Amino acid sequence: MATYTAPLRDLRFVYEELFDAEEITALEAYRDATPDLVSAIYEEGAKLCQNELFPLNRSGDEEGCHFENGNVRTPEGFRSAYAAYVDGGWGGLNCAPEFGGQGMPHSVNIALEEMLCSANLSFSTYPGLTRGVYRALRVFGSEAIKQLYLPRLVSGKWSGTMCLTEPHCGTDLGLLRTRAEPTKQDNYRITGTKIFITAGEHDLTENIVHLVLARLPDSPKGIKGISLFLVPKFMPNEQGEPGVRNSVTCASIEHKMGIKASATCVMNLQEATGWLVGQPHRGMQAMFTMMNDARLGVGMQGLGIAEIAYQAAGAYAKERLQGRSITGTKQPDKPADPLIVHPDIRRILLTMRSFTEGARALTCWVARNLDFRDKAETEEARQAADDFVQVMTPIVKAFLTDYGFEVTNMGLQVHGGHGYIRETGVEQYVRDARITQIYEGANGIQALDLVGRKMPAHTGRYLRSFFHPVQRWIEEQSTNTELQPFVLSISKAFGRLQLATGHIAQAGLRNPDEGGAAASEYLRLFGLVALGYLWARMAQISIEKQGGDDNAFYAAKIVTARFFMERVLPQTGSLFAAIMSGSSTMMEFPDETF
């Protein structure tokens, strides 16, 4: 029987020990987020995820969503699970108290996000986009819109969507055709077709709030002529209750490889009533606010699904008896030794584990900077935090989902033939994880964002927000004898990252294709260095704390850190070589021969 156990100890470790929780509680807005309260929140969140959501994961995959006369029925159990989610106030955990939220830091909220994704990735997509809509409306919505919509989104009674993609355009939104005609009131009539709309229609909430990209009649061509509109499924009446049905309807839902319990909708807008959000023709700006939140959220999905895949594989490897240890029988009273005795199985499990724990540290680091960005006292501190979030967003999105997908496959492999059977449940993790590399900007687009936008921005200022602390730490630890193997490994990998950065920056000036050719491998190199740095710091802390009450925890951390340095971080070498080989070969290949 498959189980999920939330990694509470490790969540506390990153919040309280790896990073300084007091820096968060020192912020006026977050003074309540003490380790004790945070711990209690984690435990309650774990109960919801372990007991309500995880048991619906496989049945939701088997049953899928039902499309019936324009309505979407979610799988058995999803409605009551969502009700439990709303009743627990989980939708507003990190939302503003003025709109009914609990005002917790992002660095606490990500623990909930991770647990939701581990327990039931499909389920997590229903409340998932509501967060992006909340944030876009908070920043760009009019006061009336905020007062009307935000409390209902925060409570989770209403949910949100992002309506961007059209049949002929996903990445290239400049091509989009949906149009908005002004009316004589303060609103617009919006017409067009949107596809791949996650949670576009479902039966979990009493209303759905669509944020729709469309063109005004006088709009410039391309992405500079796109505006953002709020289009509710039901028009709120004077009491703020769902009233008249708007003409935004679900035409069909997709048959997908995975996340089958998540409704992916084709949405038709037929002169649907909508309200402008933000300035005309400035929709992309508002969209990116929402999108960046969503990208970090998708990165969390990569971590969450990897964690459950790891737990399943670890349990199976300890329980499944098959073969004998090559160094001599370990469990003579049993017909065979458990899989866990075999080095190759341990190699796989430690590759998985060194990813999940490293990724957890990375997401906490980024989330802390979201906290500082929003609530730090000085503009300078807020700016510095935003710089870091800017550069790390594409890395969290792409690196954590690419690697997370690989981890789900490793987990399947540990199960052998049984892993390929649907009833075992682990092949679902592979299928579910696969979408995370694609949606909210395919990972190749994330890499181009990193190389083309984030790297050159403000002459490298975003980059320095990562490079400087790493550089400083390496210098500080240069005389720490016990830590030398870690310092050497990370120095070498960091050196490669610095050289690759310089190369891309220079070569890209001569030929823009150079950045494109290097982008994906550069992003992975960057992600590995980030995890390597965090593993070195986790090793440092664990070396200091080992020998005490929680010795087993710290001892495992130190071994895992070593494993990462020895077995994973060397990938930076081959990535560096590939980056340095440039773009000429791939551009030279004749198009028609592909």
- Restricted to residues 220-249, the positions that interact with a copy of itself (CB under 8 A) are none
Alpha carbons within 13 angstroms on the beta-carbon side of residue 284 total 13
DSSP per-residue string spanning 270-319: EEEEEEEESSTTBHHHHHHHHHHHHHHHHHHHHHHHHHHHHHHHHHHHHH
Which tokens is 411 given? 């987990």
Least distance from a copy of itself to the Cβ atom of residue 23, Å: 30
Alpha-carbon gap, residue 490 to 45, rounded angstroms: 35
95 binds a copy of itself (CB under 8 A): no
Encoded amino acid at 279, one letter: Q
Which tokens is 176 given? 């989009």
**566 counts as catalytic:** no
Whichever of 84 and 438 has its CB closer to a copy of itself, that residue is 438
- Element housing 382 (H / E): helix 379-414
Of 66, 168, 458, 472, which one interacts with a copy of itself (CB under 8 A)? 168
Which tokens is 594 given? 């592909």
The burial class, CB within 10 Å (0-12 / 13-18 / 19+), for 258 is: buried
Whichever of 388 and 494 has its CB closer to a copy of itself, that residue is 494
68 binds a copy of itself (CB under 8 A): no
585 binds a copy of itself (CB under 8 A): yes
Alpha-carbon gap, residue 396 to 116, rounded angstroms: 17
Of 448, 450, 474, 539, which one interacts with a copy of itself (CB under 8 A)? 448
Least distance from a copy of itself to the Cβ atom of residue 66, Å: 16
Interface mask (CB under 8 A) for a copy of itself, residues 188-227, using x and -? Answer: -------xx-------------------------------
Choose the stretch contacting a copy of itself; rule: CB under 8 A; options: 2-10, 124-132, 169-177, 243-251.
169-177
Provide the β-strand partners of residue 230: 211, 275
Q: Is the dihedral of CA 443, 45, 318, 432 positive or negative?
A: negative
Backbone dihedral angles phi then psi of residue 218, each to the nearest 5 degrees:
-95, 20
Collapsing DSSP states into helix, strand and coil, what is residue 354? helix
Are β-strands 226-232 and 207-215 bridged in parallel, bridged antiparallel, or unpaired? antiparallel
Which tokens is 205 given? 């909430």
59 binds a copy of itself (CB under 8 A): no
556 binds a copy of itself (CB under 8 A): yes
Which listed residue (166, 406, 440, 521) is catalytic? 440
Of 409, 465, 477, 542, which one interacts with a copy of itself (CB under 8 A)? 409
Of 172, 186, 482, 544, which one interacts with a copy of itself (CB under 8 A)? 172
Residues in the chain: 594
Closest-CA residue to 423 (of 82, 1, 54): 1
Alpha-carbon gap, residue 386 to 372, rounded angstroms: 8
- Restricted to residues 306-325, the positions that interact with a copy of itself (CB under 8 A) are 314, 317-318, 321-323
Whichever of 1 and 552 has its CB closer to a copy of itself, that residue is 552
Least distance from a copy of itself to the Cβ atom of residue 518, Å: 8
**Contact in structure between 314 and 350 (CB atoms under 8 Å):** no
Q: How far is CA 82 from CA 71, 85, 517, in A?
A: 18, 5, 44
- Restricted to residues 96-115, the positions that interact with a copy of itself (CB under 8 A) are none
571 binds a copy of itself (CB under 8 A): yes
Interface mask (CB under 8 A) for a copy of itself, residues 248-287, using x and -? Answer: ------xxxxx-----------------------------
Alpha-carbon gap, residue 46 to 88, rounded angstroms: 12
Choose the stretch contacting a copy of itself; rule: CB under 8 A; options: 99-107, 283-291, 294-302, 586-594.
586-594
Interface mask (CB under 8 A) for a copy of itself, residues 347-366, using x and -? Answer: xxxx--x-------------
Of 169, 251, 488, 541, which one interacts with a copy of itself (CB under 8 A)? 169
560 binds a copy of itself (CB under 8 A): yes
Whichever of 49 and 430 has its CB closer to a copy of itself, that residue is 430
Of 268, 498, 511, 546, which one interacts with a copy of itself (CB under 8 A)? 511
Active-site amino acid positions:
440
